[in-house]
Structure formats: C-alpha cells, structure tokens
Chains A and B, each alone.
Chain A
Amino acid sequence: MQKIIVVGSGASGVHFALTALERGHHVTLIDAGQARPPVSNLGDSFSDLKEKLADPVHYFLGETFETVVYPGSRREYYTKPYAFPPSKNDVFALPADFDVAAQGFEPLFSFAQGGLAEAWTGGVYPFNDAELEAFPLSYAELEPWYSRVAERIGICAQDDDLARFFPLHGNVIPPLRLDENSQQLVQSYQKHRAYITQRLKTYLGRSRVATLSSDKGDRKACSYCGRCLWGCPNQSLYTPSATLNACRQYAQFEYVPETFASHFTYNASHQVTALIAQTRGDAAPRAFVGDAYVLAAGTLCSSKIFMDSIWRQTGEIVKLTGLMDNRQILVPFVNLKFLGARYNPVNYQYHQLALGIETPNPAEYVHGQITTLKTALLHPIIYNVPVDLAASLSIFRNLRAALGVVNLNLHDWRRAENYLTLQPQDGGERTRLVIQYSAPSKEPERIKQMVGIVKKVLWRLGCLVPPSMVHVRPMGSSVHYAGTLPMTTARAPLTASKNCASHDFENLFLVDGATFPFLPAKNISFTLMANAARVAHAM
C-alpha cells in the first residue's frame, strides 16, 4: 500500500482521499483551510433568524455592512468583486501574499476547508459520451464512480426529459418537494411540451442536486428552511467537508490543516521527491514525503504549484494553455401566473428545475438551471426597478413570488490564447499567477441565439423576460475551471494519462479540472468527484 500526499480538501481531493483510504492506502491531506465555525440556530428557518438572532443585521449584512449592494456596484452575487453572505466570507478569504493578475477573467479562489464547493448550489450532472469524446474514457467507465459518489453524498434525481442529456446513474434518491412557482412551470411545460421540444429543441425537467430528501447518517433531510445560501443547518446540502469528516474516521488518514503547499521537488529522473508546504505560524516550510503526490487544489492552484515547481528547480517559466470556463448568462423572468401572489418562505432556496437546449453537435449542448426567487437579500433587486425606491418596493412585493432566473451555461474548449503562466516578483522571491483569457470570437452570436431560445421557451411557459435585464457574467464566474494539463492518450509534455498521472513527473497525479480536455456546459463538480474516485481506485 502506498503513502499518498494529497493537496486540497475540495470536491476532488476528498473523494480521491476517501477512495484511497478505502483501498488501504495511507493518505496525508495537506489543506490550506481550517475548520469553519459551526452553523448556529440549527432549528430555525430563514425568517426565524430575523426574529430570533440578537443581531440579525450583523448576520445578514456583515460587520461593516459589506454585503449591502449599492447602486453603481459592479459586484456579482459572489464575494468581492462579487457579494456573498458574511457567513461564507471564509470560503473566499485569500492569503495576504497570494498574488494573481488576470486579463479577461475574474477568478474565484478558495483556501477554505472543503474549497469552493462549500458555497456551491449543489448541481450534479454526469457527462455523457458525446461530452466525453475528447476524454480518453467513456461514460461506461465513469458510471460506477458517478454511482459511488451518489451513494456517498446523496443525489436527488428523476427519470424525465433531461435524461437524454444526463444519463441516470445508480444510487439516486427521490427529488425534493417543488416550490409553487416551479410546479407551475412544470405544468406549463407539460401543456406546451410538443412545441418546446420539437420547435425550440429545448427540454425541461428536475435539476439534479446533491441535497437529501431523506435522512442519511448524521445528515438530515432538507427541512425547506430556506437557509441554503447562508449555510444549511441540517447538512442536507452536501459539501466536501462531510467527506473530509468521513476520511478522518480512518486511522491511516493524516489531516494537516492551515498548511499552504507551494511546490514539489523532483530528481533528475523526474520523480517527485517531496511536497513543500508551510503551516500558518511556522517559521519555515517543511517537506512531506510519500510514494505518490496528488494535486487536487483546483485547476488554478494546482497549475500554479506545478509551474512553481518547475520554475524553482530550473528557472523555466512554463505556460499552460487551454484554460477553460463556462460562460454564464442570467436571464431573469416573471411568471405571470404569480403576479400578486403570496410568497412562501418555506422552500428549498436553490434551483429545482433545469433546461437543456439540444444542438447539432451534442457536445455543445446548452445547460440552464432555473431558480425561482425564494429566500434572498432583496435590496439589489428592488433598486434595479427603474422607478423611485418606494414605488420599487411596492411593485417588488407584488412581484416577488413570480420572479426567477435561468442561469445558462455554454461549453468551452481548449484554445491556445487562454493560458496560465507565472511572473516572478520581488527579485525572484515569489511568483504571481497570470491568467489570460479571451472569449471565442463567435460567442456574442451564440449568446444572442441561446438567449433568444430561452425567451421563447419562457414565453410559452407563461413567463416574461423584462427588457434589458439579461446579464452576461464575467468569465470566471462559473468557477468551472479546467483544461491546463489535459488527459491524453498519447504521451506529451504538460499532459496527463487516462488515469491522471502526469506525463512529466512519474509519481504525480492531478485529479481536479486541470486534466479535463473539454468542458461541457454542465456543472463540473460531480465529474470531478467521480473522476477523482476513479483515479484513486486505479492506484
């Protein structure tokens, strides 16, 4: 059995680690993160928090009211420059000396325990064979791992029109109760199905979510308390820290928190000899030695560690091309049947429906998640209504139950003009991560075409898209980064094997999105987990 050093406690890292532990390997997991504060007021709903907390404004708006979104703000709904709730501040906090320069890209990083998926919305969609064509593996090879991960984390799914895009794997559980707005959309879809599917080539169904509809071990079923964004009090919504806790039950698991991996060292035969990392508060870094080394710190950070290792040893600055991310477009809508209706706060906050737009090339399928507005901070929506604020508030209160948004995702592919590289700083003491990204030249046309289709679909479903409200999010917003050290069948520099073994360093593995050679429009997280588990099993 091997001694394996893993970097990163995100979705990829923890599922790799757990599978490796199940196989009897010894795993040391180096994690920049620290344990998060526990969720408080466990039995309370979103509305209860406003009644029962001693200082609810502090909870929702932050110590310096930093989550208030003012007119003129460019922020997306994540953290700076986005705007996330204060309870998730630690997910996105960066180390003081972390240096990045990005062009055409607004990256998000997480150095928290559990990584970026500690703040995700739970969408889990397997890639199909068309989407895996660029990969050196098929759906049949991944399916057992999709099923294995589903069994670990709990995934709600049902066999519906969307199964043509996401195969139904094993170990799924019945879906959550639909909110009223989503229910009505489904009914409308059934009524207009023939037109929407045949003329608009669009299909609607339940989104697949990593949220429990029934109890599973220590994690409870969703209680529809509406606190998803602020931190699920029941652990119904899966986050990687749950799998990290499962790893900690193994005697041969060593967890090393608050420790930042900077690079690895290697010998003349390109065998990695140690991982170098420094624990917060320590005077100097230390070397972690194993039989195999696994980078699971996310595409951007794993790539930086990879590039830094080569730079420190040889002085060479490597350029990793092919960076990918999904473009996201937000299409808000008003469900006309819910105008003047009363809003029900007792609901699951995140998306419950999805739509898929069929394209001539199935790999270029367009994915959309439909979120109806339930619990949320409302002032950023209210001030966008183009009347005075008192009138906006009045109109909004009567519209609230009717509001929703379709989050459309477009696929991406590896292109040479999109890359990561390093820039030495402070006379060579450290490096800056440089990110360069340019959108494909035909993207504006594609966005226009797809948004046009979604508007027609929504109209058929009885929904109106307010004029000038469609928002194209900056590249980097989807956080589905991939492609910089792709899996290939042929051995080549700066690539990896089918089992994610680096072709440059014999005992180095990369199990996050860095090795994905293509990025379909779907959320990447489920495939990251399944692939990481697959790789661990093969070791």
Chain B
Amino acid sequence: MSNEQTLSQVLDLECNTLTHYLIQRAPTPYILAKYREAHQVSPKLARLGAAPFDRFLVELSRKNIALTKLVDAYTALFFRNAAVRKKMVLLLAILESCAPTYPIFDQPDANGRAAFLLCFVRQGIVFALSLMVAAILLLPLHLGFELGALVSSARTARAGKRAPLNPNAPRTPATPPEMPSKLPSLH
C-alpha cells in the first residue's frame, strides 16, 4: 500500500471518529472527500501535528469517541491551538456548509428557556467531569512530552557545537521541535 493510500485511510478513520463524536452520525462520502482534500490543499493544515504531543493527541482522538471527548476537554482549556482541535474546527466548517449535516447547526435540541438551562447545566457537568479525568491522564503526559522535547533540543544544540566543522558540508539550520502555543498550567 502506498503512503498516499495509508494517509487517506488514516484521514478517513479520523473524519469518521470525529464526525461521530461531534454530531453522532457517520460522515457522507462527500464529507470524507472534503476532509481529505482540506489536508492536501490547505497550507495551514500541512503544518499541523508536527510536535510529538500534538501527534499523540490526534492519534488518541482517532481511537474511539470516549477518548476523543477527553482530548477535546483537555485541549479546550490547556491546549486551545492543538492540531486535533483545529481538525475538529475544520470538520465543523465542512459539516455546517453542506447537506445533510448543516441543519444540525440550526436546530435546538432544547425547546424553550427551561430546557436550554437544563441542557447548559448538563453539558457543563459533563465537561467538568471529562476535564478532570483528562487532566489526570493527559497533563503528566503533556509535561513529559514537553520535557522530552526540551532535552532533545538541548542535546541537538550541544551536538551541533561539538562536531568539527566541515567547510564542504552543506549547512542546514537546526529545526527546534514545535512548541504548543500554551503550556499546561501546573497549578
């Protein structure tokens, strides 16, 4: 199987899991195709998921929707610019732009203010519980990945200083690992 086919399959799995998670239904072939296409043509998506923790979260969120929920809750507070979050936002943009999924964005599932308040409280409680579990599981991992990246970066920098200079070797700049835009709070 070629790399391209593997990537398509991975993106389809991702789209499938994330769509089920967001709107509790399967994506249509059109939505799958658009999700794949976005990853091919969008310059912003081409740079996503380069950092190890980012990649880890994307892989985790593909496994099942329970894990997706934990990843979603964690990134909502601690890692708002995470690759997986951007992928979900992309998917929201696709889902709201086409049939048969756009009406989901238009229809309330509560009817009236009392029902809205119940929905709001229920969602808030579920989010709080998910966040608690996610923080216990993912925060240490996140810190571990960040420490690992720092150590790796320091080693690379030291190795670059010690190696004898070969005037004939092509010079390429060291590429530091991508840092997330917001580190988790330790407090």
Chain A positions near chain B (C-beta within 8 angstroms): 47, 50-51, 56-57, 59-61, 63-66, 68-72, 336-337, 339-343, 345, 377-379, 382-383, 386-391, 393-401
Contact = CB atoms under 8 A, between A and B. Distances in A.
Contacts of A342: 106-108
B55 interface: no
A389 B21 CA distance: 10
A139 B117 CA distance: 51
A230 B77 CA distance: 34
14 contacts: A50-B99, A56-B99, A57-B30, A64-B42, A68-B38, A70-B44, A340-B112, A340-B115, A345-B106, A387-B124, A390-B21, A391-B124, A391-B126, A400-B105
B116 A388 contact: no
Nearest to A68: B93
A377 B96 contact: yes
Contact of A388 (B76, B103, B105): B76
Given A50-B99, A387-B127, A397 B108 contact: yes
Interface string B97-132: 111001111111111111111011001101100110
B3 interface: no
A394 B123 contact: yes
A61 B94 contact: yes
A68 B97 CA distance: 11
Contacts of B23: 393
B92 A388 contact: no
A59 B97 CA distance: 9
B73 A57 contact: no
10 closest pairs, A vs B, by CB?
A340-B116, A388-B72, A60-B97, A72-B81, A379-B92, A391-B123, A339-B116, A340-B110, A398-B108, A388-B76
A341 B94 contact: no
A406 B111 CA distance: 26
A389 to B, nearest CB: 5
B119 A388 contact: no
B43 interface: yes
Interface stretch (B4-12, B83-91, B151-159, B171-179): B83-91
Given A65-B42, A379-B93, A389 B88 contact: yes
Given A65-B45, A69-B89, A72-B181, 13 more contacts: A65-B90, A68-B38, A340-B115, A342-B107, A342-B108, A343-B106, A378-B96, A383-B92, A387-B123, A388-B75, A389-B85, A395-B123, A398-B120
A379 B96 CA distance: 8
A56 B30 CA distance: 10
A99 B107 CA distance: 46
Contact of B98 (A56, A69, A336, A382): A56
Nearest to A382: B92
Interface residues of B, number: 56
B137 interface: no
A476 to B, nearest CB: 24
A502 to B, nearest CB: 45
B41 interface: yes
A135 to B, nearest CB: 45
B22 interface: yes
Contacts of B96: 377-379
Contact of A398 (B43, B86, B116): B116
Contacts of B109: 394, 397-398
B92 A389 contact: yes
A393 B97 CA distance: 15
Contact of B85 (A61, A71, A340): A71
Nearest to B134: A388
Nearest to B82: A71
B34 A50 contact: no
A393 to B, nearest CB: 6
Contact of A397 (B81, B104, B114): B104
B69 interface: yes
Interface in B40-82: 41-45, 69, 72-73, 75-77, 80-81
Contact of B110 (A71, A336, A337, A398): A398
Contacts of B102: 47, 50
Most buried by B among A342, A378, A401: A378
Given A50-B99, A336-B113, A390-B22, A70 B76 contact: no
A400 B98 contact: no
B134 to A, nearest CB: 9
B98 A71 contact: no
Most buried by B among A388, A400, A401: A388
Given A61-B94, A390-B72, A341 B127 contact: no
A401 B110 CA distance: 12
A64 B41 contact: yes
B85 A383 contact: yes
B176 to A, nearest CB: 19
Contacts of A60: 93, 97
A98 B180 CA distance: 35
